[in-house]
Amino acid sequence: MAQQAVGVRLPPQAHALVESLRSFGYDMATALADLVDNSIAAKARHVRVEFSTTNGQSWVAVIDDGTGMGEAALHEALRFGGEGPGALRESSDLGRFGLGLKTASLSQCRLLTVLSRTGEDLACRSWDLDHVARVNDWEVLTAADGEALRIAEEVSFSGTGTMVLWRRLDNAGEGRVLAQRLGQARVRLAMWFHRYLTFGRLDLQIGQRSITPWDPFWRRWMATQDLGTEFLGRHSEVKVTPFVLPHPSRLSNKELELGAGPRGWAAQQGFYVYRRDRLVSAGGWLGLPELTQISQARLARIEVDVDQAADTAWRIDVRKARIHPPSELEADLTRLAGAARDASVRAFRQRSVTLGRHRGGEITFGWLPRQRDGGTDYVVNRQHPVVQAALDTPGRTTVEALLRLVERTVPVGLIAIEAERDETRTPQAALEGANENEIREELAAMLAGLPKDPAARSRAVRVLASVEPFNRFPALVAELTARLSTDGDGA
């Protein structure tokens, strides 16, 4: 007869486990984001990140004006695990695992102090990892030390709300390193909380500067395409809206820089998954097998809103940084992503093929691709009217030699490397974005190279008016051609 199993307590070693919990993969930005989540759950409208970068005395404090916590509530908030992922939460609560405040903070520091106030009384709890190591037990400190109180006064934490204070910043760094990491965090916080910031539900500051929201879909650009919304899931709990951003040649350099986002155009393509208005997955294709990053899909960005009821099925991690869709939604998400990717690819193809068409005429490019030895190189188009005019001169041999030199020395490899390195530096069409004086000067110089014979010049101009880049400036072509003709007649 089998003996009944007897349970024996086997608690974890406190000092060992708490050190392991520091290695969840947080960086400065994701750690701060977890604290902002807690502030939003506490109905805060203003959240400040204050800091000191003094070597040996560096600290970071996150202060909010939320509802605050009393002694009992704060004690539970500092418990590892809290209520766990299965607990029912308010719609404004962005937490899930009951680990964020502790693991996020301790990933950056060895001394975490939380001061909170609901009225006059100040509650305090501290996790001091050196103390935990000494006693090898889950002992949380309950008294506010003098330095914590001094910093609270320095940052003007006096009313209702909560202050989370990080000290002994062994992982966050000090001095210039700390300042740099906080600056880099600003850009990502602007993306993750852009809905709260845009609609005035949150004012988020780092130091003295408020964070400006960054909308991945740039709805303010009139050329951004909204491909329509679909609701997925058995209870329509997932809302999906694919967007296609404008072709880079339609954007200014400043807009290109802004639209690139924290990780650049190529990395920002893909799905943007929101959980209660908080962005938790910014770009990428969610590991869906048929979708990979390609350069010409970089205009495709898909907005996904996950209802609270579908929260668990999306397998979000502790840091709220990785997420994977339920298997039953993969086919529909792949289909919608495919539509956005196709539209992005078409934008690049149409731009390269049809840009410059005028009144039904075909483009005559200055360069032509040529297949050679299993690869592609580029040659000057000898049929281009300006090139033809140069070749129809007594110096034809010299011109041909110059053309061959230019063809053999085009830095195709370097151009490809630069385009891959910086997606914002997308090559633009000739004279794209130039002002009228620049256009006039360029056109005048090129038109001056046309044949002097009136009949030959007339034929060349008719062809020239339909080719790139002249076909986009018909009025200027006509004006300059007439002026050159008049000058020629008067000569």
Give the span between the Cα atoms of 327 and 156, in whole angstroms.
Answer: 49
Domain end point (choices 354, 389, 416): 354
User: Is 103 a member of any domain?
Assistant: yes
Total count of domains within the chain: 3
Work out the mean pLDDT of the chain and round it to a whole number: 83
Q: Is residue 374 located within the same domain as residue 312?
A: no
Q: Which of 216, 249, 256, 199 is nearest to 424 (CA)?
A: 256
Give the span between the Cα atoms of 172 and 151, in whole angstroms.
Answer: 18
User: Is 56 a member of any domain?
Assistant: yes
Give the span between the Cα atoms of 207 and 179, in whole angstroms.
Answer: 10
- For strands 270-275 and 300-306, give the pairing: parallel
- So what's the pLDDT on residue 424? 47
Q: Is residue 98 located within the same domain as residue 129?
A: yes
Q: Is residue 247 located within the same domain as residue 149?
A: no
Q: Is residue 235 located within the same domain as residue 203?
A: no
- Four-point Cα dihedral 258, 264, 266, 267, nearest 10: -120
Of 61-75, 243-257, 279-293, 471-485, the poorest mean pLDDT is in 471-485
Q: Is residue 70 located within the same domain as residue 203?
A: yes
Domain with 377 in it:
367-425+435-490
Burial class (CB in 10 A: 0-12, 13-18, 19+), 203: middle
Cis peptide bond prior to 262, omega within 30° of 0: no
390-412 confidence digits (pLDDT tens) = 777 777 888 888 888 887 777 76
Between residues 252 and 368, the one the model is more confident about: 252
Q: Is residue 193 located within the same domain as residue 331?
A: no
Mean pLDDT of 108-121: 94
Q: Is residue 301 located within the same domain as residue 404?
A: no
Q: Is residue 349 located within the same domain as residue 372?
A: no
Helices (H), 157-313: 175-192, 194-198, 253-260
Q: Is residue 28 located within the same domain as residue 150?
A: yes
Q: Is residue 117 located within the same domain as residue 162?
A: yes
User: Is 93 a member of any domain?
Assistant: yes
Q: How many residues does the chain have?
A: 491
Q: Is residue 410 located within the same domain as residue 323?
A: no
- So what's the pLDDT on residue 474? 72
- So what's the pLDDT on residue 355? 44
Domain end point (choices 210, 241, 261): 210
49-66 confidence digits (pLDDT tens) = 999 999 999 999 999 999
Residue pair 108/169 in contact (Cβ under 8 Å)? The answer is yes
User: Is 3 a member of any domain?
Assistant: no
User: Is 220 a member of any domain?
Assistant: no
User: Is 217 a member of any domain?
Assistant: no
- So what's the pLDDT on residue 359? 41
User: Is 390 a member of any domain?
Assistant: yes
Between residues 206 and 364, the one the model is more confident about: 206
Q: Which residues contact 241 (CB under 8 A, 6 or more apart)?
A: 226, 227, 228, 229, 230, 302, 303
Mean pLDDT of 370-397: 74
Helices (H), 213-360: 253-260, 330-354
- So what's the pLDDT on residue 94? 47
408-427 confidence digits (pLDDT tens) = 777 766 666 555 555 444 44
**Confidence at 358, pLDDT banded by 50, 70, 90:** very low
Between residues 214 and 471, the one the model is more confident about: 214
Q: Is residue 348 located within the same domain as residue 316?
A: yes
- So what's the pLDDT on residue 354? 46
**Confidence at 87, pLDDT banded by 50, 70, 90:** very low
**Confidence at 442, pLDDT banded by 50, 70, 90:** confident
- So what's the pLDDT on residue 197? 97
127-160 confidence digits (pLDDT tens) = 999 999 999 999 999 999 999 999 999 999 999 9
DSSP 284: B
User: Is 458 a member of any domain?
Assistant: yes
Per cent of the chain over pLDDT 90 is 48
